[in-house]
Structure 1
Amino acid sequence: VITGRNRGLGLATTRELVAQGAETIVICRSSTPELDEAGVTGIVEGVDVTDAEALAAAADEIMAKGGAIDILINNAGYFYGPEEKVLDDSLNFDEQLKQIDICAVAPLRVSSAFVNKGLFKEGGRIVIISSQAGSAAWRLVQNPEGGDYGHHMSRAACNIAGVLLAQELRSKGIAVGLLHPGFNKTGMTKKYEHIWEVEGAVDASVGAKRVLHETKAISMETTGLFINCEDGLEIPF
């Protein structure tokens, strides 16, 4: 099951899952012609990842139609366009909270619904698509001027939620992986289009292959780790 994205990296990951022979169910607010043509096993529409009741109903629907699942990919995300700065008084606190709700709380909300509905097979895995933007250690060397507060805070919160979830679900044998998908050319990163080539951004189809490669490596031995899909190495928190 993959959440949230009927375009960009989510759509590319969905297509790659289907290409690799996986029975794939997509949870989203609304489908698109591209998603309809992707060949997925099922699409559960009308589900917002900020709505706990809708997620519980979606879990029931998935269980009724196909039974337990192997992998949940929490891919839904949100990125506020303008770069927020304190010094120019451009902070948008409502947008910051929206990003935190969608990028940090939602993966926990979805995972909780699925776990409590008994939706995972033995040895199931939870993938959380995060971002290196949530690494406080890397911000000290990569963001000399600060900014983009909502984006970075939401991803840092996402990461600690993933670690705590990994610890809690260890007794259930459910592994949790936090993945930075790399720099992909998508609508979400379009505000950085001017540095796509300089920073090595790749097409979403390439990013999807990287994500699934690292998804396969998630195990109880690696549960809770924050992995860079560009090179397979661990990212410091």
Structure 2
Amino acid sequence: MKSKVAVITGGTSGIGKATVEKLVTFGTTVVLLARDTQKAEIVKKEILKTFPNGKIEIFAGDLTDLKSIKAASEEIKARHPKIDILINNAGGVYSEFERTADGFELGFQVNHLAHFLLTQLLLENLLKSEESRVINLSSEAHRMGKFSIGNLNAEKKFSTWKQYGATKLMNILFTKALANKYAEKGLLAFAVHPGVVKSGFGANNTGFLKYFNKMPFLITPEKGAETSVYLATQTKEKLSNGGYYKRCQISYSSLESQDVVSQDQLWDISMKMIKDYL
């Protein structure tokens, strides 16, 4: 893992931060794409106190603003002509319907579309690596999600958990499409269920979601990061391209997530949505 470059979103807290902490111990240069760069700098200093030889870089990028993702990607590509790993880690659940300035439902953009754009923008640099990997954080919640082209943005009806489940299903559909399209060029793509983790999940909301992190059954961020780190560091011969992983083992995702037609439909409509940023 030495000399490798890994780009990660959501690396300033929770699972993402724990992932960064582990990757730097392998000698990996970790690139943080962060909305709050001041917070990222604090996290960087904190990690480097424990791992003084770690290499962490920070670039400003906000998943709720596709223009900022475009700008950050250009800066990262100029800095790193070859990228080995992309971990699309950030995500959120939202109790109320809200549109971003780009016109998309907030959860759809943060959990899927912005990461889809980021991946497309970094793809050329990723393919220059001999073992490029894209790791998408999904969830067992994908099983309660439905893929509906006419309701990707919750245009017809919004439900907190159904929309969250739908976006987590999209993470797996995207992963499998990515593997199918680029496996011949050496790209590996994986979807991950990290477990139910005590992190910042849901803290941006009111009601039950605000207190989600006080539930007694939650696992630590370090435990939640284990599968992402495993997929980033394990030899490719031991991995299943396009697979859905939990507890560092291949698992079965829902039948809907394995539908090739849905995978291609999501890919095509997502490409149309981001065409102005490519």
TM-score range, shorter chain: 0.7 to 0.9
TM-score (structure 2 length as normaliser)? 0.68
Q: Which ranges in structure 2 are unaligned for 5 or more consecutive residues?
A: 1-6, 49-53, 146-158, 204-208, 255-278
Map of 1:109 onto structure 2: 117
Alignment equivalent of 1:196, drawn from 199, 216, 235: 216
Alpha-carbon deviation of 1:119? 6.4
2:47 to 38, 45, 53: 38
Q: What is the distance in 1 between the residues matched to 2:75 and 2:124?
A: 14
Report matched runs for 1:66-145 at 5 Å: 66-80=80-94, 82=95, 92=97, 94=99, 97-116=105-124, 120-136=128-144
Checking the alignment, whether the CA contact within 8 Å between 2:127 and 2:186 is kept in structure 1 is no
Kept in 2, the 8 Å contact 1:4–1:76? The answer is yes
Amino acid at match of 2:113: V
TM-score (norm 1): 0.78
Aligned partners of 1:2 and 1:147: how far apart in 2?
Answer: 26
Residue 85 of structure 1: aligned partner = none
Select the residue among 11, 32, 35 that pairs with 1:26: 32
Q: Supply the distance in 2 between the matched residues of 1:100 and 1:78 (Cα, whole angstroms).
A: 10
- Residue 116 of structure 1 deviates from its aligned partner by 3.8
Give the corresponding residue for 1:141: none
Corresponding residue to 2:173 among 155, 160, 169: 160
1:3 paired residue number: 9
Aligned partners of 2:135 and 2:231 also within 8 Å: no
Check 1:193–1:46 CA distance in 2 against 1; reply closer, same or farther (3 A cut): closer
Q: Deviation string for 1:34-55 (max 9, x for gaps)?
A: 2343235343332123444433
CA contact (8 A) 1:123 1:174 kept: yes
Distance verdict in 2 for CA 1:24–1:217, change over 3 Å? same
Query: What is the rounded CA distance, in whole Å, between the counterparts of 1:67 and 1:103 in structure 2?
Result: 26
Q: What residue is the counterpart of 1:57 in the other structure?
A: 71
- Kindly tell me the number of residue pairs found equivalent between the two proteins: 216
* The 10-residue stretch of structure 1 (35-44 or 61-70) with the greater mean CA deviation from structure 2: 35-44
Q: CA deviation at 1:176?
A: 0.5
Matching of residue 210 in structure 1 with residue 260 in structure 2: no
Q: Supply the distance in 2 between the matched residues of 1:168 and 1:218 (Cα, whole angstroms).
A: 21
* Aligned mate of 1:174, from 181, 184, 187: 187
Alignment root-mean-square deviation, CA:
2.8
% same residue: 23
